Amino acid sequence: MRHILTGTTAAKGMALGRARLVQPSRYLVDTRPLNEDEVDVELARLHRALETARQELRELRGKLHGALAREVNEFIDAHSLLLDDPELLRGLDDLVRIGHYRPGAALKKQRDRIAAVFEAMDDPYLRSRKEDVDQVISRVISALQRQTSREERKLAARVGEILVADTIAPADMAHLAGSGLLGVVASSGSAYSHSAILARSLDLPMLVGVRDALSTIHDDDLILLDAERGEAVVHPTAQDLARYRAWQREAAQEGRRLATLANAPTRTTDGVDIRLLANAEMPADIAMARARGADGVGLYRTEFLFLRQKGLPTEDEQFIAYRDLVLGMGGLPVTIRTLDLGADKADAAGLVLRGEDNPALGVRGVRLSLRYPAVFTTQIRAILRAACYGPVRVLVPMVTQPDELIAVRTLFKLARQELKRENVDLPEKLALGAMIEVPAAAINVRALLEHADFLAIGTNDLAQYVLAADRGNDALDNIYNPLQPALLRLLSYVIAEGRRAKKPVSLCGEIGGDVSFTALLLALGLNEFSMHPSQLLHVRDRVATLDHALLRAHASRILRARTHEEAEALLTQIVG
């Protein structure tokens, strides 16, 4: 039967697929006795579920080949025999027809009976076959609860999977995305979590906070994931499917329209040019940034070099990666962020650091780099060598106070002197910037600007620190909101101070690529955005609809807002 579950949209889009539960909830067995007039209907449901389970095993056998088939076929045969066991089937029928048990309760009763027989056996191997009984009964109960029509099963066989889980780790999502994953329904989580960010970059529709997902969705249920409306439609109707097909046509048409903006300027309606840069990590990001007309790379994460292998990357390994990045951007400016690891990941990168109770407030970013000057100097040398191949800026993460920037400049100066003695070609000048993600850095930004050539605001961490709210904690959704007045005033102050010092300020946090915040950031005076390359065309399109002068004129009204709801209402009123 069709039903709708609602949640919060973490990544927009729509998808049609069969449910795959990562952590299925325990089966809920209805223990109410059957009425006499229900017996025949429920008995038919039980027989259909048994036949569905048999068909699944036949299909599974047909899909297996070679060594895997030889390994698994024994278990498939054992399960098939159990499903055809006369004693099991007769007992089930009697429980429903005579005992007035509902099918789920009858299956559990038979499972308990047979399991008790196996448990009493002396032979360890025979005792272990109790697991086969558990698995077979679970398969039938799953089929019983799915209530999937034959037509739905045919359609589900032709489509991919929608993951249904409590939460999903970013690494798991990345792995599954390469295996045909179509979307995600999560019973908890936040729209600002790392997984949500990844889903948006992968163009995977995702809903979070779908409270009843694990208890009401079953494996292989057909689901229409509508992350435009914030709904998951279980057992969609023909009308739902028609809506999905219409969305597909519109999305394809919109994609073609956006593609025409790849080489267009990013300009407001009143003629103000805005710079759009890309956040990047892998070669695929660089290729996408170039294809979509990025003005450069505003944030290149170097951590992957330290986490993808055991031990530390050599200077040459880093140099090759940075050089390829610079060459890949074809003369456009590139901003390389120095190592941004926390103590929670330092061991994985080959840096030995005692465990910390609170890594988020510990030795991370530039703090970690300065603790290991030899490791940091290796990275600095690689960056200096790569900077001869095109325009490069260096961004220092987790800056809190000016002396950290002074120390970094000193290490760059020493590395430059070393390389000069080795007759290595060097760039004439290298801009050094501070990442503003610590509240102290934002409040004391004037002092930092005396030593920084540019600023990049990391709103993901800055918001967490200012609001004392973990962005991945869905219980704090009412607090972690980029429109919180305290955060807006801090952003406005940093941008204004950068402009006063005549030094560039970019924003490389998640909201930089979210079109729902584009108008707000323009109002605050930002003119340099950095984002995942998949968002470049969407933001360019949004900028082209906005009047820069109008937004700037109303900035003071937005900054006087007392709540994030008030700020949102004002922004809606201004933009229209």
Distance CA 546, CA 521 (A): 11
The dihedral built from the CA positions of residue 559, 562, 567 and 573, taken in this order, carries a sign that is negative
* Helix, strand, coil percentages in the chain from 3-state DSSP, rounded to 5: 55, 15, 30
Distance CA 286, CA 272 (A): 26
3-state secondary structure of 298: strand
Tokens standing for residue 232: 């998951």
Find the catalytic residue in 3, 47, 388, 508: 508
Distance CA 343, CA 358 (A): 9
Strand partners, 233: 4, 224
Distance CA 149, CA 17 (A): 15
Task: Evaluate whether 289 touches 567 at the Cβ level (below 8 Å).
Answer: no
Strand partners, 19: 162
The answer to whether 508 is a known catalytic residue is yes
Main-chain dihedrals φ then ψ at residue 317, nearest 5 degrees: -60, -45
β-strands 3-6, 231-234: how paired? Answer: antiparallel
CA distances from 299 to 109, 171, 320, 327 (A): 60, 21, 18, 16
CA distances from 22 to 17, 57, 137, 297, 332 (A): 15, 20, 19, 36, 43
Main-chain dihedrals φ then ψ at residue 165, nearest 5 degrees: -150, 170
Instruction: Show Cβ contacts of residue 349 under 8 Å, excluding neighbours closer than 6 positions.
Output: 303, 306, 307, 312, 341
| Residue spans of alpha helices (H) in 341-401 | 343-346, 366-371, 373-386
The answer to whether 218 is a known catalytic residue is no
Total number of residues shown for the chain: 576
Q: How far is CA 256 from the centre of its chain?
A: 25
Main-chain dihedrals φ then ψ at residue 226, nearest 5 degrees: -110, 85
Tokens standing for residue 263: 């080489």
H-helix or E-strand containing 477? Answer: none
Residue with tokens 């679970």: 138
The dihedral built from the CA positions of residue 19, 23, 25 and 27, taken in this order, carries a sign that is positive
Task: Evaluate whether 363 touches 343 at the Cβ level (below 8 Å).
Answer: yes
Distance CA 188, CA 167 (A): 6
Task: Evaluate whether 459 touches 507 at the Cβ level (below 8 Å).
Answer: yes
CA distances from 425 to 163, 386, 414, 416, 419 (A): 51, 10, 15, 10, 8
Find the catalytic residue in 47, 194, 451, 554: 194
The dihedral built from the CA positions of residue 460, 465, 466 and 472, taken in this order, carries a sign that is positive
Tokens standing for residue 186: 């999560």
Tokens standing for residue 548: 């820069």
Tokens standing for residue 446: 């004037």
Catalytic residues: 194, 508
